[in-house]
Chain A
Amino acid sequence: MSLSTHTTQDLLDQLQSGQLTSTELVTTCLDRIDAHDERIGAFLHFEREPALQQAAEIDRRRQAGGTLGALAGLPVAIKDNICANGTRTTCASRMLENFVPPYDAHIIERLRQADAVLLGRTNLDEFAMGSSCENSAFQQTRNPWDTERTPGGSSGGSAAAVAAGMTPLSIGSDTGGSIRQPAAFCGVVGMKPTYGRVSRYGLVAFASSLDQIGPFANDVTGVSRLLEVLAGHDERDSTSIDRRVPAYSQNLDQPLDGLRIGIAKEHFVEGLHPEVEQAVRSAVDVYRSLGAEIKEVTLPHSKYCVAVYYIVAPSEASSNLARYDGVHYGFRAEKFDNMIDMYSATRGEGFGDEVKRRIMLGTYALSAGYYDAYYLKALKVRRLIRQDFDRAFEEVDVIASPVTPTPAFKIGELIDDPLAMYLTDIYTISANLAGLPGVSLPCGFSSEGLPIGLQLQAAPFEEERLLRAARMYERETDWHTRRPAMNSNSAS
């Protein structure tokens, strides 16, 4: 087995005991990227030397007996919409193709303090808008389990990189499922924390009331170790919550006594692939066999979540993306008549189709005469969706559901039908609207050999319980240990 497919905890133990150096580990990861990424396309850009220098420095400090951070020597790949000082951050957009941030995001500071090695920058749908990486201005990431299929999105590069064993850990952002959906499609573990648990400072904004940064790993322990580093208060993000960060990994292996699992009938309706339903129901049976109480809950407004999301998210995006004006940073069109035309030409040429569609949708929903009917209405239904969850979490500790209605779809399959693409987010969006933490973990494979994800959601700030519940299932199953067969580079 290649080093880069070991679990996070294995690698940390080996690094600490001296069986493995960070230089060896980072070299293995970089070699694997070299060998396979021409085919997978997970990374937009990476630099070998700086990563190896970081690794060598950590090895040197370890040998000298110095105190090291919580992730010392472990490589972490970063979604290319999170700013790191001096590292190009493109958002997979022509608009930011040459943008080099002059500062570190909060989570980049945290990773540096933890002595993680920043491995490279992963592909995404432009500005994190999409569910397949098809909206990247630069390349298509392919699903390591079947390269005809998408890895999901928007954090598809980060999910594919972990699945392909190119890195043990990676970072994504989740606005409507952009961590959990690619985790499910690629057969890895991905988590969206509670809104406000991780600082958004330095995350390029898409929809500010929904965006949240979170971890990917090949098991629940890896995700927990990474979340311990990412989480915590930061005064530069005024929506970041000042609350103690539990040691998520500490009691992870202790099963939860009297765990109550909720199943919502609204999650098992038309459109759900029978093999996905079967895998999720079997996962619930595993919990039952472990002594968990399974209760039916109702989320009567869940059928509205996609409609609410596709008003709220584009509205916020239309405002956030107003900053791309061809003046302060980023792309500027070459030909224009005057100042206003410069703005319009710059934005018309610099943004891709989906980004323009969403800006238009949001601009329309916020415009005079339509604001009440669309935006305000959506915010009211958003509260009803949250209230459904508040009631459900009086009865149960976590809600189990599918992550996606189907396994990974084919590249090109949905690209001409935005609404059908949006509807693939039906199970993940509500956690963003309601601010809840949610995790996706492997729970089976389709008859075509594609991974299937189990989603668990909990009440706000219940990450500790959520991760322990996820680990209970993971301990009983071996889905998370399966890896895609990685053939060497060849043009497909």
Chain B
Amino acid sequence: MSELTVDDVKKVASLARLKLSGDDIARYQKKLENVLSYVHLLDEVDTSDVEPMAHAIEAVNVFRQDEPRDSLDQAQALANAPQTDGKYFLVPAILDEA
């Protein structure tokens, strides 16, 4: 299969929201390519009639009553946030100022 290019690594880093330095990208490219070429070992397995298995112990849907119950209060929910105003999580502006 195709090898992993520097552009691929940049694209994946962007999809994964990871800011990487140029050095990082070069290092990751080599190491990721090693792993990807190893996993191509699976190409030799015939899986044409095999269903994918997402979980080893395949449980059926688990439902519960849709009833209100105790949860975290606002102060607890905000306690670990990097920035809040005591009521909301604060984030950088997401819209340009008009």
Q: Whole-angstrom distance between the alpha carbons of A441 and B84 in the complex?
A: 49
- Candidates B28, B36, B79, B82; contact of A327 at CB < 8 Å: B82
Min CB distance B57 to A, Å, is 5
Within 8 A of A (CB), among B61-98: 62, 64, 72, 76-77, 79-83, 89, 91-94
User: Which residue of A is nearest B8, CB measured?
Assistant: A364
Within 8 A of B (CB), among A371-415: 373-374, 376-384, 386
Q: Whole-angstrom distance between the alpha carbons of A374 and B59 in the complex?
A: 24
From A4-12, A333-341, A464-472, the one touching the partner chain is A333-341
Q: Whole-angstrom distance between the alpha carbons of A367 and B14 in the complex?
A: 12
Interface size class of B (residues with CB under 8 A): 35 or more
Min CB distance B15 to A, Å, is 5
Asked if A238 is at the interface of the complex by the 8 Å CB criterion, the answer is yes
Q: Is the CB of A327 within 8 A of B59?
A: no
Known pairs A102-B72, A345-B19, A360-B28; A419 contacts B57 (CB<8 A)? no
Q: Whole-angstrom distance between the alpha carbons of A345 and B14 in the complex?
A: 11
Q: Is the CB of A196 within 8 A of B59?
A: yes
Min CB distance B81 to A, Å, is 6
Q: Is the CB of A307 within 8 A of B38?
A: yes
Which residues of B have CB within 8 Å of A364?
4, 8, 12, 32, 36
Min CB distance B65 to A, Å, is 10
Q: Whole-angstrom distance between the alpha carbons of A306 and B35 in the complex?
A: 10
Which residues of A have CB within 8 Å of B24?
356
Min CB distance A365 to B, Å, is 8
Min CB distance A414 to B, Å, is 12
Q: Is the CB of A195 within 8 A of B93?
A: no
**Residue with the highest number of chain A CB atoms closer than 10 Å, among B1, B18, B19, B81:** B18
Which residues of A have CB within 8 Å of B59?
196, 238-239, 241
Q: Is the CB of A357 within 8 A of B32?
A: yes
Known pairs A307-B38, A343-B17, A360-B32; A329 contacts B80 (CB<8 A)? yes
Asked if B51 is at the interface of the complex by the 8 Å CB criterion, the answer is yes
Known pairs A239-B59, A342-B92, A361-B32; A381 contacts B45 (CB<8 A)? yes
Asked if A348 is at the interface of the complex by the 8 Å CB criterion, the answer is yes
Q: Whole-angstrom distance between the alpha carbons of A331 and B81 in the complex?
A: 8
Q: Is the CB of B18 within 8 A of A239?
A: no
Known pairs A195-B55, A340-B17, A363-B15; A328 contacts B50 (CB<8 A)? no
Known pairs A99-B80, A378-B42, A384-B50; A347 contacts B17 (CB<8 A)? yes
Known pairs A343-B17, A345-B19, A357-B28; A386 contacts B80 (CB<8 A)? no
Q: Mark B12-42, 1 if CB is under 8 A from A, else 0.
A: 1111111110001000100110111011111
New contact pairs (4) apart from A345-B19, A418-B35, A436-B56, CB-CB < 8 Å: A344-B18, A360-B13, A364-B8, A418-B34
